[in-house]
Amino acid sequence: MKLTVLSALLATAIAAPALAEDAICYNCPPQWADWASMLEAIDEKLDIQMPHDNKNSGQTLSQLLAERASPVADVAYYGVTTGIKAGTEGVVEPYKPEGFDEIPEGLKDPEGNWFAIHYGTLGLFVNVDALAGAPVPQCWADLTKPEYRGMVGYLDPSSAFVGYAGAVAVNLANGGDLGSFDPAIEYFNALAENDPIVPKQTSYARVVSGEIPILFDYDFNAYRGKYEEDGNFEFVLPCEGSVRVPYVMSLVADAPNPDAGKRVLDFILSDEGQAIWTNAYLQPARPVDLPAEVAEKFLPASDYERAVAVDYAEMERAQAAFGERYLNEVE
C-alpha cells in the first residue's frame, strides 16, 4: 500500500508542470513607460514573473546599496545618471545582452555594468481640460505666470531622476550648463511662488485625473495619455529647448536569480522587446526605425531639434551637488 502511494506521488510530481521562474526588478512601475506591457510579455514569452515595483531611480539605488550584502533584486532600471552611479558603487555586475554592440557609444558602460534600453524627451505633459481655460503653455517661462498657479508639477529633483532631468532641461534652457546650475535654482524659486506640486513618485495617473494639470515629464507618457486615455492631453516641447535622456538597466551583483535576470535583459534588448517600447512611444536604444503608425503620432522632427543630448557622465557627477542645492536653496 505504501509503495503504491509513493509511486503515485512520484508520478504526479513528474507529470506536474515546472514552476514559473521569478525575478525581481527594482523600479519597473506599470504606469511608467508602459512597463505593464513589458512585464506581461516577459511573463508570456519567458514564463518569468516580475512583481510591479514603484520605486524611483534614487530609491532603487538606495535599496541596492542597503542590500549590498544580501541582494534581493535581480535587475534594476533607472535614469542613466543613476545607472552610472550604481556601476561606480559596485552594486551591479557586467552583462552584455545580444544587441549590446548596437547601442551607440556613450549610452552604455563598455564593460556592461549598465546600458540604455530606450530614450525619452523631457517636456510638458498637459491635461488641457484641467487648465480651467488657461492656454496650453508653450515655454518653461510660461509656468511661472499667475494663470498656472497650483497647476504645475514636477518630481522631486533631489530624489527622482525625471525630476533631475527636468532640472537639467530648465537649466540649459535658461543659459546654464552642467557646471553651473544657478539658472535652474533661480527658476525653481520663481516657480515655488506659483505653488507647484512636487511628488516623489511617478504621477501619470494624477495628470490623467486632472489633479496635476501640467507635469514635467517625458514625451512617451504624454503621447500615451493623448492617444490612449479619455480626455484632452498634449505634449509640449518647450520653446526654449529641452534634453533627450536614456533610461538604462543593469544586472544586480550577486543577484538571487541571475539566470532569470539575464534572460529578462536579453529579451528587453531583443528585436521583440525593443518593439514593445515603440508601442509605448519610446525611442528604442538600438537603432530601429519607428513604425509609421507610431512616428506620425510624435511632434514633427523639426520640434525635436530643440532637444539635445548631453554628457551623461558629467550629468551624473553634477547630480548630488545639484540635489543638495535644491534642498537647501529652493523655498
pLDDT for the residue numbered 201? 80
Task: Give the integer Cα–Cα distance in Å for 109 and 112.
Answer: 5
Opening angle at CA 101, ends 96 and 107, nearest 5: 85
Q: What is the SS3 assignment for 283?
A: strand
Contact of 215 with 117, CB cutoff 8 Å = no
pLDDT for residue 7 is more than 70: no
Q: In angstroms, rounded to a whole number, what is the distance separating the alpha carbons of residues 214 and 131?
A: 8
Pairing of strands 75-79, 115-127: unpaired
DSSP assignment, residue 168? H
Closest to 164 in 3D by CA, of 84, 57, 92: 57
pLDDT of residue 105: 86
Quick one: pLDDT at residue 15?
34
pLDDT tens by residue, 266-307 = 999 999 999 999 888 998 999 877 778 888 899 998 999 999
Residue 13 has what pLDDT?
A: 36
**Set of cell numbers at residue 225:** 495619455
H-run or E-run covering 26: strand 25-26
Q: What is the pLDDT of residue 315?
A: 94
Q: How confident is the model at residue 20 (pLDDT cuts 50, 70, 90)?
A: low
pTM of the model: 0.79
CB 318 within 8 A of CB 90: no
CB-based contact 323:163 (threshold 8 Å)? no
> What's the chain's Rg over C-alpha atoms?
22
Indicate whether 9 pLDDT > 60: no
Average the pLDDT over 90-110 and give the result: 94
CA distance 317 to 315: 6
Q: Please report, rounded to a whole number, the percentage of residues in the chain having pLDDT higher than 70.
A: 94
Largest CA distance in the chain: 85
Neighbours of 132 (CB within 10 A): 11
- pLDDT for res 278: 87
pLDDT at residue 18 is higher than 90 = no
Three-state DSSP at 205 gives: helix
Mean pLDDT of 174-200: 97
Q: What rounded mean pLDDT belongs to the chain? A: 91
Residue 217 φ then ψ, to 5°: -160, 175
Q: How far is CA 161 from CA 158, 219, 287, in A?
A: 8, 15, 24
